[in-house]
Amino acid sequence: MTRLYAEVIGDPIAHSKSPLIHNFWLAKLGIDAEYRACHVRPDELEDYFTRRRGDTEWRGCNVTMPHKQAVLDFVDARGWSVGKLDAANCVVRTGTGLEAHNTDGAGVCDGLSRVSSDLWSVCLIGAGGAAVAAREELDAICGDDLRLVARDKAKAERFIDEFSFESRWFAFDEVANAMRDANGVINASPLGMTGRPAMPEPVLDALALTSAESFVFDMVYAPLETDLLKRAKALKRQRVDGLVMLVGQAAAAFEMFFGQPAPREHDGKLRALLTA
C-alpha cells in the first residue's frame, strides 16, 4: 500500500529544506506519510499537475521558484491568501479540485511575533512577492509610517498605493533617510542571498540610524547569518532570521496537507537540525 505524500517543486530544488522540516513534523506526530522534493522544469509544469491529479495519494505541493505565478494556470481555485500577491507557494488537493494558497503571510507573521518593538515605523527593503506578503501583514498591525526602499520607482509607487496608511518610497541612495529613527527593518529582497548581489554597504551603514530598540528581520535564510544580521548584531538590535519565516510558512502548509497542526513545541530541535 502506498503512502500519502506531499512535496516541494521547483527548478532547482536540491537545496530545499522543506523535506527535512515536514518529515520531522510527520515523525513527531506519528503520521504515516512522507514529504518529498521533485525537480520540475517550467516546460514540465503542466504535465506534472496532470499526473498528480490522477494520484490519489498526493496531498499537494509547496511551490518555489520559478513556478509561483505559473502554477496559478493549473489550479481550480485560489484561496484568499493568494489575493493581491498574484502568486502561490502551496497547492492543496481538496474535495473539489486543486486550490492555490500563499503561506508567505503566515511566515511574516511568525517573524514579527518574535520582536518586542512597536511597529509604528518600519523600513521595508524590496517590492516583490515576499514584500507584498509583508505589506499585507504590516497593513494590519503597523502604526502609520512605512518606508519602502526599492530600485524601481514605478513599481514602488504601485506597491505603496495598496497601503491604508502613510507610506513613502526611497531609492537605495536615500536609504539613510529611510532608516532614520525607524523601529523596524525588514529585508524582503534577495539581496544578501547566496548567489545573489550582496546587500549594499550604504544599507548596512544606515542601520546605525535606526532606533536603539529597533529590530531587523531578514527573510534570507541562505546564508542564515547575513551581512544585514551581522551588522544588526554589532549594533545590538533585535534580530529575526529567515529560518523563522521558512518554518512559519511550512507550518501553515503542513496543516493543509496533513490535517494536523505542526508540532511547533519542537521548534528548538528542528532549528538545530536545520542549522547543523
b/e 187-212 (16+ beta carbons within 10 angstroms → b): bbbbbbbeeeeebbeebbebbebbbe
What is the distance in angstroms between the CA of the first residue and the CA of the last residue of the chain?
Answer: 34
Which of 46-60, 90-104, 127-141 is least confident? 127-141
Residues 173 and 225 in one domain: yes
Residues 125 and 231 in one domain: yes
CATH number (domain holding residue 147): 3.40.50.720
Q: List pLDDT tens digits, range 131-185.
A: 888 888 887 776 678 899 999 988 888 888 877 667 899 999 999 999 999 999 9
Residues 73 and 192 in one domain: no
For residue 164, the model assigns a pLDDT of 65
Q: Read off the C-alpha cell for 182.
A: 525607524
Residues 64 and 119 in one domain: no
- 59 closest CA partner among 35, 79, 77, 82: 35
Query: What pTM, to 2 d.p., does this model score?
Result: 0.91
Spatial separation of the C-alpha atoms in residues 267 and 255, rounded to whole Å: 16
Residues 54 and 68 in one domain: yes
Residues 104, 129: contact at Cβ < 8 Å?
yes
Q: List pLDDT tens digits, range 20-53.
A: 999 999 999 999 999 999 999 999 999 999 999 9
Catalytic (active-site) positions: 68
pLDDT band at 88 (very low <50, low <70, confident <90, very high): very high
Structural domain range at position 203? 106-240
